[in-house]
Amino acid sequence: MLQDKQAALVTGANRGIGYELVKQLAEMGFKVILASRDPKKGSEAAQRLADSGLDVSFVDMDVTDQESIRQAAMTVTETAPRLDVLINNAGVYLDGNAKLLTMDPAILERTMSTNFFGVYLVMRSFMPLMKKRGYGRIINVSSEYGAMNAMSSQGAGAYKISKLAMNALTRLAAAEVRGDIKIYAVDPGWVSSDMGGPSAPRTPKRAAELILRLVTMGSEGPRGGFFRDGKPIDW
């Protein structure tokens, strides 16, 4: 039965690591919802994958906009009455060379709004679909910059704080949920996307492969944790 197929949703998936995550999840047999804040880019990306025979559909979702998230959750609940995997991938890196204490506070605000509140609001809105069946795997795409030991060196302050807060949210939420629902943070490594730049050594394809190791974590696996390349690392 079609509705028995496992379903996954990836945010910020019109390009970069998110796009690869969608492609590989669909190749693994998931019905995948590609979420993007840009309807044109998002629907074209989903169509490209659907044209190659993959079960991919598009939903419009800006993670900084509560109404947009609410609408997306309603659409997903109607079209895929289950959600097994949620990947919070959408992210921004806006610091440039700015220093934390002298930067325009709007940079910190916008970064937190996407990388932290966005993840919080999306988890809240989609959690009922997981709770209903007592099963779910949530992966929050973090960064080595979100580890506590990254706070001792200056640079990328807004981004670091946002990913540190995302990691804290991951731990707290993992401690709160019941059933076979697991919530992980993952560092994808330095990846050659628009954000990572062309010199990054890891391709989005390889990053997605390593992130998706967590999707197949069995019920005996840890409830939460911070991972890189499928192995636990320090928060």
Interacting residues toward ligand NDP by CB under 6 A = 11-12, 14-18, 37-38, 41, 62-64, 89-92, 114, 141, 143, 188, 190-191, 193-196, 200
Closest approach of ligand NDP to the CB of residue 212, in Å: 14
Nearer to ligand NDP, 41 or 206 (CB): 41
Closest approach of ligand NDP to the CB of residue 18, in Å: 5
Nearer to ligand NDP, 63 or 158 (CB): 63
Closest approach of ligand NDP to the CB of residue 233, in Å: 13
Closest approach of ligand NDP to the CB of residue 42, in Å: 8
Burial of 73 (0-12, 13-18, 19+ CB in 10 A): buried
Nearer to ligand NDP, 34 or 174 (CB): 34
Mention every residue, 6+ apart, whose C-beta is less than 8 A from residue 193.
Answer: 15, 16, 17, 200, 204
Nearer to ligand NDP, 110 or 132 (CB): 110
Check if the beta carbon of residue 62 is closer than 8 Å to that of residue 38: no
Closest approach of ligand NDP to the CB of residue 37, in Å: 4
Nearer to ligand NDP, 38 or 55 (CB): 38
Continuous segment of H or E residues that includes residue 33? strand 31-36
Check if the beta carbon of residue 119 is closer than 8 Å to that of residue 165: no
Burial of 218 (0-12, 13-18, 19+ CB in 10 A): exposed
Give the tokens for residue 48: 């490209």
DSSP-based three-state secondary structure for 176: helix
Mention every residue, 6+ apart, whose C-beta is less than 8 A from residue 68.
Answer: 37, 60, 61, 62
